Amino acid sequence: MGVQGKEGDVGGQSQTDMSIFRPPVVRTGTAALNRALFTRRVDLAAAAVQDHKLISQYRRTLQSSRELLHVDRISPIRPHPDQALAGQGRKCFLLNPSVKAEAPETWGPVLRAGVQKQELTVIPYELQLDYDYWNYRDIMVSVLPEELHDDIPTGFNIAGHVAHLNLREHYLPYKHLVAEVLLDKNPQIKTVINKVDNVGSESEFRTFQYEVLAGPDDLNVEVAEGGCVFQFDYSKVYWNSRLETEHRRLINIFQPGEVVCDVMAGIGPFAVPAGKKHVFVWANDKNPESFKYLSAAIKKNKVGAFVRPFCEDGRTFIRQAADSVLEASQKGEHAVVTHRVKSPPQQPTPAAQEGPAGAPARPTVREERIPIPPTISHFVMNLPASAIEFLSSYRGLYAGREALFAPHTPGRLLPLVHVHCFALKADGDDDRAPREDICARITAALGFAVRPGDDPDVEGCAVIHDVRDVAPAKSMYCATFRLPREVAFAARD
């Protein structure tokens, strides 16, 4: 629970005084949750307002003088504790806990002046707090042993109505309690699950075994991201809401009319919003369930003219996509986008000069034909546990097709490759170690020397973007580099 004010002095009283707003310690020796034990009575003073027209004035002055109660999630304006007066609309202000109704020497200058003017009356007030008032962390501090307070489980992945925990071993005895409180304090969550294995190491498709800690065993969810809606069974495909910023970052790089090859597309968090942006996407995932939900998302979000789903092994798909895009371009395949354009208002005839200035504009429909270009502009490889191992498949990607690119075709560059990966964090502030490690692994897989740099258009330079922390000593990164000519035009195996 947050209590606002300066450090060591909150609303004119010490932090010690504010302990009255903390939940009671409820450690029963079991992992059961008894909500009734969280009821607490707080004895305060209140300033009853004689005239409701003065409420705004006194709220401002009492707050400025720090005589007003200032605690998170507690409104300082309350109905008068006398029910008869409350029925007449009378209000009162809850006051700083240092103010005592029976001790005028504790009253501040604004309160004293208001009493002298007979505009305020100081009365005792009994404030009732219960389980619903305190937040998730408050409850956890109250029920968990003190040795577990340092890393209370607060981070979890949300997919629709499902909260996905990954509890550490020492919290497992309290797993159902944690889940129950999460449900209480997050109305949008209906089901809480806990992962019981490691994603990426025990499942080829990054799915996981789970146990239901609270709520129904219903993992059919609906998620909105990037202006698109996705519906899927969370137990059968990979989804991570914490990657939304990374999805948006790359989508913002893609330009309308370009072709993106999403090698490990999942259910389409890159592909479908990019299609909304009029980017052509060849979207692939080896998991048949991901392919099913990807296809459904393409249809639901009406991006079928731009996004094509595939279900292939990523290594095979990389080369197939380059050939398929070229073939589609040579066939003249394209998308048609409809624009509604307002026509200029009709001008009145001379005989009607005294009438309206012009008739309402009538929208007209204009169709834009967007051709599929012959080459891929971006490859996205969002499989951080192993994506670097797929880089050898780029050798010979455009073998014998040098004429498609600069200098033969001015302005057309080889694709940018965005490969996600994990790496250990460096000790201290020096971030060179993980970047050099990533580039060494890319070099080994690609068969071409790659080094950390700031410009992916410089051949052999990779820009390493820090995506997010996944463990205390481990981070997820995205390495972006321009596919080297030596690799792209090498002979195919």
Q: Which residues are annotated as a binding site for S-adenosyl-L-methionine?
A: 247, 313-314, 382
The helix (H) or strand (E) run that includes residue 300 is: helix 288-300
Residues in a beta bridge with 478: 420, 465
Tokens of 179: 């889940």
Tokens of 42: 């707080």
Distance CA 133, CA 3 (A): 13
* Collapsed DSSP state (helix, strand, coil) of residue 428: coil
Under DSSP, the state recorded for 420 is: E
Distance CA 39, CA 23 (A): 8
Tokens of 142: 């109250």
Residues in a beta bridge with 157: 164
Annotated binding site: 247, 313-314, 382
Residue 405 CB-density burial (10 A; 0-12 exposed, 13-18 middle, 19+ buried):
buried
In single-letter form, the type of residue at position 140 comes to: M
* Collapsed DSSP state (helix, strand, coil) of residue 413: coil
Decide if 26 contacts 38 (C-beta within 8 A).
yes
Strands (E), 287-415: 307-310, 334-342, 363-371, 378-381
